[in-house]
Amino acid sequence: MAYKDVYAAWQADPEKFWMEAAEAIDWDEKPSKALFEKGEHMFEWFADARVNTCWNAVDRHVEAGRGPQYAIIHDSPITGRTHKITYSELRNRVATLAGALRAKGVEKGDVVIIYMPMVPEALEAMLACARLGAIHSVVFGGFAANELAVRIDDAKPKAILASSCGIEPGRIVHYKPLLDDAIEQSTHKPEFCVIHQREQEVAHMIEGRDFGWHSFQYGATPAECVPVEGNHPAYILYTSGTTGQPKGVVRHTAGHIVALNWTMKNIYNVDPGDVFWAASDVGWVVGHSYICYGPLIHGNTTVVFEGKPVGTPDAGTFWRVISEHKVKSFFTAPTAFRAVKREDPTGELVAKYDLSCLNAIYLAGERADPDTIEWTQRTTGKPVYDHWWQTETGWTIAGNPVGIEALPVKLGSPTVAMPGYDVQILDEGGHPMPTGELGAIAVKLPLPPGTLPTLWNAEPRFRKSYLEHFPGYYETGDAGMIDEDGYLYIMARTDDVINVAGHRLSTGAMEEVLASHPDVAECAVIGVSDALKGQLPMGFLCLNAGTNKPHEEVVKECIGLVRSKIGPVAAFKLACVVDRLPKTRSGKILRGTMVSIADGKDYKMPATIDDPAILDEIKEALSTLGYPA
């Protein structure tokens, strides 16, 4: 069947399409139908079914004879270790961990925060929660204690599972002290913590609150899989919005399992038993969908990679892992290849490895620039597919459905809408734009299974952020266009979210932190173009009258403040002091114009600018930072 026929079949009868996709799943009670309309543009999928994610990701494969197959390959160049876990072992490990959590009172519906690096125990923690029907929320290790505290207060976890440390090139990330600090800062306190001690740094335990990962499992009765309703939340994953308060994206259980399973063959073109590798982090949505759940639900072997594209030990690491573990489909962010390309421009290290096992490379998380795609195609000789999605959707909105039909690649486009998504380009008033014209990208409701039904404890915010601007549509926050062949192009964000090394960050959140500095009267953060990371945040600070601290000192303190409040992942290292910020007469900061100046692009003098002379001051400040680069 051709892609267009599959898409047309979905359009003609979405109910039939998703009920057929649901047949690949083991149900405790089958759904009576796929879509449940809740009214007021709210929808749920397979809500009346009963199902367990862990059963589908682990146990059923053991029952079907995949017990001896590797479920997880932990490849950790940063520690020099590789560890493989079969599906049988995984079932036993997860069942025991779940049993120990249950013995401590964790039940269906309880929230558990997971704060761990790229170790198999992180996946086991997620699966143990799923086994019990507990709702996990994984927090990325590159966030500061304050960000963890915000998530603890919002999610109100009964327990927190954490590692003692993570390892970044040249430094240990002190997870446990960060966790202690976060719990100190948060109003809500977890009942207990379970600490996975790593030999690189053994953490101090707090008597009565903290339990050791292994000792707390001693003698635990393995837990069976607890069937949950189709609309039971499987997890909460926080993502950046336009303010300092992150959005808790909710994922319902049944739609998640059905959709991810569908994508493994149709998009990533792998069959059960094949090795699949997403080089991301469990703290991001890519890690949830394609390090943990997708490949395991589909009976694949997943690679858990604890390392970097370069420096662990060199730019050949990706190719070494692919050839050593016989990876068939590989997924990463364009920034990773930009880093590899910079170190190995001629692809010398690529040629050292046998990549005959690899069928295709997938990119997502940020715009894939044509140069990077072409370099990757040329040096590996493999097809490279860009695909576009978001934390909110959990899987591809637009991609190349290679398992159905590999469509011709057009550089700069993530290809076409996947079945389930009716993607449209709208003008400000919500009217469809003509082919080839730029507008806001929106998806006609309902969104397909596996996408967010709401935000955690924040339905009004969900409506306001996604549903209100274009009634009847989901607003993606991205702008772009669709060409005459139906190919989509993602051009920019319509909000203040920026994308740094494939990480989604809020400039608004950084501004909130900068504004808290006692010498800062006003500030603006913009995202400037960067050849490696795509974008980098840059701060402009206006100081209080009478501040006599040297500017460099304030800048240094502000950079330190963002690192300590948001975390190293913000990569906030560029800031300068200016007298005034360019604004419209109504007081709106002209961030877009500042970005154009910093990027060295042509810009039109905004008609509404209050005082054009301020732009010269901005240019001068930018030149002290070396911009335009």
Residue from 14, 99, 133, 166 touching ligand COA (CB under 6 A): that is 166
Does 276 interact with ligand COA (rule: CB under 6 A)? no
CA distances (Å), origin 524, targets 176, 509, 562: 33, 11, 13
Q: Quick one: which segment of 239-247, 305-313, 382-390, 440-448 binds ligand COA (CB under 6 A)?
A: 305-313
Q: Quick one: which segment of 117-125, 162-170, 361-369, 570-578 binds ligand AMP (CB under 6 A)?
A: 361-369
**Closer residue to ligand COA (CB): 337 or 462:** 337
Q: Quick one: which segment of 106-114, 186-194, 256-264, 302-310 binds ligand COA (CB under 6 A)?
A: 302-310
The Cα–Cα gap between 618 and 590 comes to 11
CB of residue 451 to ligand AMP, shortest distance in Å: 12
- Per partner kind, with CB cut-offs from 5 to 8 A, the member of ligand AMP, ligand COA, none near residue 391 is ligand AMP
The Cα–Cα gap between 553 and 18 comes to 58
Residue from 502, 527, 537, 582 touching ligand COA (CB under 6 A): that is 502
Does 47 interact with ligand AMP (rule: CB under 6 A)? no
The b-or-e profile of 400-412 (16+ CB within 10 A means b, else e) is: bbbbbeebebbee
How many residues sit close enough to ligand COA to count as binding (CB under 6 A)? 25
CB of residue 552 to ligand AMP, shortest distance in Å: 33
Residue 43's H or E segment, with its range, is strand 42-45
Q: Return the closest-CA partner of residue 326 out of 362, 301, 352, 351.
A: 301
The Cα–Cα gap between 202 and 69 comes to 32
Does 574 interact with ligand COA (rule: CB under 6 A)? no
Q: Return the closest-CA partner of residue 481 out of 444, 529, 442, 534.
A: 442
Does 239 interact with ligand AMP (rule: CB under 6 A)? yes
Does 74 interact with ligand AMP (rule: CB under 6 A)? no
Residue 247's H or E segment, with its range, is strand 247-252
Retrieve residue 255's tokens.
């739609």
**Closer residue to ligand COA (CB): 50 or 288:** 288
Cβ-based neighbours of 329, under 8 Å, separated by 6 or more:
268, 269, 270, 274, 276, 277, 358, 359, 360, 361, 362
Q: Return the closest-CA partner of residue 303 out of 283, 281, 285, 284.
A: 281
The Cα–Cα gap between 541 and 539 comes to 6
**Closer residue to ligand COA (CB): 531 or 613:** 531
Residue pair 535/498 in contact by the 8 Å Cβ criterion: yes
The number of angstroms, rounded, from the C-alpha of 364 to the middle of its chain's C-alpha atoms is: 10
Does 44 interact with ligand AMP (rule: CB under 6 A)? no
Of 498-557, binders to ligand AMP (CB under 6 A) are 499, 504
Of 164-223, binders to ligand AMP (CB under 6 A) are none
Does 414 interact with ligand COA (rule: CB under 6 A)? no
Binding mask 320-359 for ligand COA (x = CB under 6 A): -------------x-xx--x--------------------
**Other CB atoms closer than 10 Å to residue 437's CB: what's the count?**
11
User: Which residues of this protein are in contact with ligand COA, per CB under 6 A?
Assistant: 117, 141-142, 166, 168, 173, 280-281, 284, 286, 308-310, 333, 335-336, 339, 365, 500-502, 533, 568-569, 571
User: Which residues of this protein are in contact with ligand AMP, per CB under 6 A?
Assistant: 239, 285, 364-368, 386-391, 414, 476-478, 490, 493, 499, 504
